[in-house]
Amino acid sequence: MRRLITAVGGAAVVGGCVAGLLYLGPATESPTATAPAAGAPAAGTPAAGAAGTGALDTARKRTKAYPRDPVGWASLARAEIEQARTTLDAAPLEAADRALSRSLALDGTRNYAAVVGRGQLANARHQFTRGREHGLRATRMAPDRPDGYAVLADAEIQLGHYPAARAAVQRLLDLAPGSAAYARAAYDLETNGRPTDAGIALKRAVDSASTSGERAFAQTRSGDLAWSRGELDRAAAYYRDALDTEPEYPFAVAGTARVLAARGEPGKALDAYERLTERTPLPQFLLEAVELRASMSKAGDAGPGAAEAALSAQVRLSRADGGPVDPHLALFAADHGDPAVAVELMRREWAHTRSVITADALAWALHRDGRGGEALKYARWAASTGWDNALFRYHRGAIEAALGLPGARRQLREALETNPHFSPYHAVRARELTRE
């Protein structure tokens, strides 16, 4: 199985979450840099991957022509990270690591590009404490260059240091008010319960995009934001725009499938998911396919499908390799596999990432494993930023209902009011619980 970059928090989980590192936004580009610096990995497309391959070939030729140029090796590392970003394949990260080691061997004192690269690589590997260290070092080395602040913001978000992340994003906006900065600002605003302001930031991200990849990303995120508010027509329009910009953009394809299911066309939606997961078997897409299929009585009676088998295999791989855990895998294990395994995986992830998305997935795993008291603690943590997230509210409401707490129905009603289509699988249970 090809090792894909893990999406901490996952993009647009069935309940409308926004991914963590993988889905924060496109790269920043420092005006003084010799090549674009890859920011937090984001969803790629075949077209974006082809462009990334061209940049990679150029960077490789440069290191062959000038093997003792530290900037050239740092540029190669950035190109390798960009290749990982656009293909969602983690394999180029090893080549990036080697290139950065070479760059630092040639210049280990004031090598800003390599320090930034080390931070980007650490974040891509979900080593967020290390990413934060490199981000801080880069911003101290060059307080007026933006790339270090992008690294720092991405790490702080995943560590759950939201005020520090906001400060880094604000500095990034001050220095380079472009699409990448606005995309990160939108994520911060949405996470902190300001969806209207997040929408404004995303419009600016679309308007200031300098590449088709940036534009498709921001359009897709606009669709995700509309979806999270239950605005199907607006979401569909944004996803359509993204697909016009970058055909087959995977997250826009998934968003379109989500809208089809909500509009009462689950068969078409499932077909779209099946085509998508054949090309891009990310846990998010597979889980959405599994839960849509489970919500369709005839399909659900047919036994496990290919998406469920793929997720089961990815759960086994994640348990064995001890690496970062995509919360979608834990949500799958909690609801469709072994909840104890879900708890195991999310406890391991919680040791490294303290985002609200990680807290929510751990809460749900604990609940499904019969540990409601402990689950409630993490569900409250997930609500601590004020994010009006329908899946989070459903999870908390179900946990409180199991504990017999009086606020359960309110949480469940608010989940359905926020987005009545938040999940074809869980929304049914949310309605049932409001009537119990």
Q: What is the pLDDT of residues 36-68, one digit of tens each?
A: 222 333 323 333 445 557 889 999 999 999 999
Tell me the C-alpha distance between 132 and 154, whole Å. Answer: 8
Structural contact between residues 361 and 341, judged by C-beta atoms closer than 8 angstroms: no
- For residue 344, the SS3 value is helix
Residues 405 and 300 in one domain: yes
Residues 200 and 293 in one domain: no
Residues 64 and 197 in one domain: yes
Q: Give the residues across from 28 on adjacent strands.
A: 37
Q: How far, rounded to the nearest angstrom, does the alpha carbon of residue 350 sit from its chain's CA centroid? A: 16
Structural contact between residues 160 and 356, judged by C-beta atoms closer than 8 angstroms: yes
Domain that holds residue 322: 283-435
Structural contact between residues 213 and 11, judged by C-beta atoms closer than 8 angstroms: no
Q: How far, rounded to the nearest angstrom, does the alpha carbon of residue 80 sit from its chain's CA centroid? A: 20
pLDDT at 367: 98
What tokens were used for 285? 């897409």
Tell me, yes or no, whether 311 lies in a domain. Answer: yes
Tell me, yes or no, whether 278 lies in a domain. Answer: no
- For residue 146, the SS3 value is coil
Tell me, yes or no, whether 240 lies in a domain. Answer: no
Residues 187 and 320 in one domain: no
Q: What is the pTM of this model?
A: 0.86
Question: Given 206, 230, 257, which residue is the final one in a domain?
Answer: 206
Cβ neighbours around 278 below 10 Å, total = 9
Tell me, yes or no, whether 234 lies in a domain. Answer: no
pLDDT at 436: 81
Residues 190 and 309 in one domain: no
Tell me the C-alpha distance between 344 and 35, whole Å. Answer: 41
Tell me the C-alpha distance between 295 and 300, whole Å. Answer: 7
**Residues listed for the chain:** 436
Residues 297 and 427 in one domain: yes
What tokens were used for 300? 């659900």
Surface-to-core class of residue 1, CB atoms within 10 Å of its CB (0-12 exposed, 13-18 middle, 19+ buried): exposed
Angle at which helices 356-368 and 339-350 cross, to 10°:
150
Cβ neighbours around 109 below 10 Å, total = 6
pLDDT at 22: 34
Question: Given 206, 232, 255, which residue is the final one in a domain?
Answer: 206
pLDDT at 424: 95
Tell me the C-alpha distance between 357 and 381, whole Å. Answer: 10
Instruction: Give which of 143, 108, 138, 109 is closest to 123, Cα–Cα.
Output: 138
* Total of domains in the chain: 2
* CA 393 vs CA 9, 16, 336, 418: distances in Å: 16, 11, 20, 9
Spans of the chain below 50 pLDDT: 1-2, 7-25, 29-49, 300
Q: What is the CATH number of the domain that holds 389?
A: 1.25.40.10
Residues 301 and 407 in one domain: yes
Tell me the C-alpha distance between 72 and 423, whole Å. Answer: 47
Tell me, yes or no, whether 325 lies in a domain. Answer: yes
Exposure on the CB side of residue 35, measured as CA atoms within 13 A: 26
pLDDT at 90: 85
Question: Given 206, 223, 239, which residue is the final one in a domain?
Answer: 206
Q: How far, rounded to the nearest angstrom, does the alpha carbon of residue 124 sit from its chain's CA centroid? A: 11
Residues 288 and 154 in one domain: no
Surface-to-core class of residue 434, CB atoms within 10 Å of its CB (0-12 exposed, 13-18 middle, 19+ buried): middle
Residues 181 and 289 in one domain: no
Rg of the chain on CA atoms, in Å: 21
Kindly report, residue by residue over 258-317, the tens digit of the pLDDT.
999 999 999 999 999 999 999 999 999 999 999 999 999 655 455 668 999 999 999 999
Tell me the C-alpha distance between 137 and 321, whole Å. Answer: 30
pLDDT at 19: 35
Specify the residue for token string 């795993």.
365
Residues 145 and 52 in one domain: yes
Tell me, yes or no, whether 190 lies in a domain. Answer: yes
Residues 426 and 290 in one domain: yes
Tell me, yes or no, whether 236 lies in a domain. Answer: no
- For residue 144, the SS3 value is coil
Q: Give the residues across from 37 on adjacent strands.
A: 28
Tell me, yes or no, whether 251 lies in a domain. Answer: no
pLDDT at 155: 96
Specify the residue for token string 């936004």.
25
Residues 412 and 320 in one domain: yes
